[in-house]
Structure 1
Amino acid sequence: MDAVATRNTLARREWLLRTLAELRTLSPRASAMPAYPTITAQDFLDRHYAVNRPALLRGEVAGWPALRLWTPEYLKARIGAAEIEFQGGRGANENYERFKQRHRRRLPFDQFIDLITGKGVDNDAYVTAYNNRNNIAALQPLHADLGFIDHLLTRDVEHPHGMMWIGPAGTFTPLHHDLTNNLLVQITGSKRVLMVAPEEGPRLYNDHHVFSQVRDIEHVDLKRFPGMANLHAMRFDLKAGEALFIPIGWWHQVTAHDFSVSITYTNFRWRNDFHVGFPMK
């Protein structure tokens, strides 16, 4: 395909995505976040997983002991001085999400809790999903406090209990999209979540991998990024005891209001290996 044909193909693709995004905004219901107390596996598959639409599940984790137990003091006593990995020194590099490998740090868990419950830490220290593989053994005692959403998730994986996020108020995950379908369960504290549909992708200045040049869509320099004017985003607070389905390709950014513990699950009962073949360059 020559250069002109390539440009025309890309232009047609952007036109289609822009049109789909504009169609979504015609209906307040279509552009809003659907919420359920609970949902059956078939309804979840038909209404959300298979059609790439997010959902807020408000009652699926009710009764999990972790919801009442996981204070900083409890976590510190339960895990003790077991060494964990976290993301540190984030304040010195605004591109900390793009260069996560550079921010890997280690501390005994009780010292990490002391660090993030002290003053002035904000976004500088955070246990994230990126650290998960190196924290499985240390955090394993916490699994006893969790239930399991068997009708949506499978236990038939190596590590079925998800990936932990533990951090202070003020932690911020910049605008990005994931290469898997995710279920984000909020255990302790609350988080501000902004989500943007995949159709808006051409307006989001995606310059590298799954990241946007715009870190925070609530604070955009429209002279530099004029394409983001009048961008439609879902905005809501994810509270303790709620689970958010973030479909693959949905752009999102997340800010913690309080000391926060969350778990991301990707082990759905249905296929979730779409990241294979993603163009890395």
Structure 2
Amino acid sequence: MITQSAAGDSRAAEAAKEMAWEQLHSGPWHSVVPIWRDAYAMACLYVAKIHYSSGEFNLALKALDMGLIMGGFTLRDDLNLCIGKVSSALRGEAFSDNGESRRNSQWRMDLNMAEVRVINCKLRLYECMNNFDAKYLKVLRLLPVKSLSCKTVGKKSSLSLEGFLQDHLISGFPVIISNSMTHWPAKDRWNDMNYLKKVAGFRTVPVEVGKNYLCSEWKQELITFSEFLERIQSNDCSNADMSYLAQHQLFEQIQELKQDIVIPDYCFVGGGEMRSINAWFGPPGTVTPLHHDPHHNILAQVVGRKYIRLYPASISEELYPHSETMLSNSSQVDLDNIDDKEFPKVLDLEFVDCILEEGEMLYIPPKWWHYVRSLTTSFSVSFWWSDAPNSPDS
């Protein structure tokens, strides 16, 4: 039974969470004042505490995940600590007879420490805010690809770091690297849906729904990982309702999955700096429209297969990029249904393509245009890094 005082605390926490939520959506994401992200994370901690004290573990975990996804970095350790406690409860790990009072006492201690960190960090600015810019949130899918290329991306087994530096990083040309992921725990674990459900099933994740992010019907949803896995396994998704966990920093959110992957040594050749590690997980047919990214990219194919087509950065104008700033890294051309009257230059452009097999990595140089379609259920990891600080292109 919820007391009048507890009900008041619950309303106050929800009101604070809603107020911060409104501020997070008051304009472009990069212009949000950083303290509102901390305020949102703090409100999520309080909301989670109330649900947890009432035994509503699923609601508590959802609130904590929202704090990780939308909140600032000041309270990330506190959120992860509390997620561990709630996850233990959901998995049925027993508490002692005085477990309830111990839980509430621990929450109070964790939250008091968190409050001190928020107060001390109110004026901090977060350089990493731009990592969550809305223009990078993509859910995608695709129709049949016309295999018209006259060239295929070269493939090299266990490519040496020196060979990668000289033949691809410096020259700026794609390559498929095989036999470099055999030591990843993910290679075995992620093919098992039961493992994924056990590790992350209760967690809330952002998925993108619709044909792709350039379509008017495209939208985003927040669902549990278990619900997402059920959608993947249903095999009845149309273009309008296909769900894709796309370009999400899943491994910062769910630490257990982070233990399953290894950052490739290639990402550190030449003294580069890691920018982000993103997950791409969805059913057959998910598509990323033709676009380019600002960083070096290694796309590691852990589960399934993908078709990928690439165009060099030197022909960007012939690919008809959108004029809007937010979409300037995306092409107006639909490669599955090319309008040769509106985009006549595209048909004569040379490109390279490949089918990226399970256990292979693809290096995509900065600003290279690429189009990606999942041929099977696919789970990929992309590693973005920038040039060394003193390099001409950094």
TM-score, structure 2 as length reference? 0.54
Q: Could you give the per-residue CA deviations for residues 19-60 of structure 1, whole angstroms, max 9, x where no partner exists?
A: xxxxxxxxx8xx652221122222212211122111110111
Find out whether 1:118 has 2:231 as its counterpart.
no
Q: Does 1:224 align with 2:342?
A: yes
2:179 to 59, 65, 69: 59
**8 Å Cα contact 2:272-2:389 kept in structure 1:** no
The aligned counterpart of 1:83 is: 204
Q: Deviation at 1:262?
A: 0.2
SS in 1 for 2:166: helix
Contact 1:174 1:254 in 2 (8 A): yes
| Unpaired runs of at least 5, structure 2 | 1-149
TM-aligned CA deviation for residue 113 of structure 1: 0.7
Are 2:214 and 1:214 equivalent residues in the alignment?
no
Q: Which amino acid aligns with 2:286?
A: T
SS at match of 1:267: strand
Q: Please say if residues 186 and 302 of structure 2, whose CA atoms lie closer than 8 Å, have aligned partners that are also in contact.
A: yes
Of Structure 1 and Structure 2, the greater helix share is in: 2
Instruction: Assess if the C-alpha contact under 8 Å between 2:152 and 2:354 holds in 1.
Output: no
The answer to whether the aligner puts 1:190 opposite 2:305 as a matched pair is: yes
Change in CA separation of 1:45 and 1:193 when aligned onto 2, cut-off 3 Å: same
Structure 1 stretches of 4+ moved >3 Å: 135-138, 151-160, 267-276
1:44 is matched with which residue? 164
User: Are residue 163 (structure 1) and residue 278 (structure 2) matched?
Assistant: yes
State which structure, 1 or 2, has the greater radius of gyration over its C-alpha atoms: 2
Larger RCO: Structure 1 or Structure 2 (Cα < 8 Å, ≥ 6 residues apart)?
1
Q: Return closer, same or farther for 1:59/1:272 CA change in 2, 3 Å cut-off.
A: farther
1:1-281 aligned at under 5 Å gives the runs: 32-71=152-191, 72-88=193-209, 90-91=210-211, 95-96=214-215, 103-121=219-237, 124-129=242-247, 131-132=248-249, 135-153=250-268, 162-208=277-323, 209-216=328-335, 218-267=336-385, 270=388
Count of residue pairs brought into register by the alignment: 237
- Deviation readout 1:62-112 (Å, 9 max, x if unpaired): 232211221233211221211111212x24x7615xx89x73321111111
Shift of 1:149: 2.1
Indicate the RMSD between aligned Cα atoms, in angstroms: 3.0
Distance 2:361 2:232 in 1: 24
For residues 273 and 294 of structure 2, the distance between their equivalents in structure 1, rounded to whole angstroms, comes to 18
Whole-angstrom distance in 2 between the partners of 1:274 and 1:167: 37
Contact residue 122 and residue 171 of structure 1 kept, 8 A: no
CA contact (8 A) 1:153 1:268 kept: no
Report the TM-score when normalising by structure 1. Answer: 0.74
Q: 1:83 touches 1:138 (CA, 8 Å); kept in 2?
A: no
Identical aligned residues as a percent: 26
Q: Any gaps of 5 or more consecutive residues in structure 1? A: 1-27, 277-281
- Give the structure 2 partner of residue 13 of structure 1: none
Give the drift of 1:137. Answer: 4.7
Give distance in 2, aligned partners of 1:222 and 1:85: 36
Counterparts of 1:248 and 1:78, CA distance in 2? 34
State the 1:202 CA deviation: 2.4
The secondary structure found in structure 2 opposite 1:195 is: strand
Provide the C-alpha distance between the structure 1 equivalents of 2:185 and 2:346, rounded to a whole number of angstroms: 42
Letter in 1 for 2:207: F
Offset, 1:272: 11
How many Å separate the matches in 1 of 2:384 and 2:314?
A: 22
Residues in 2 aligned to 1:234 and 1:250: alpha-carbon distance in whole angstroms: 11
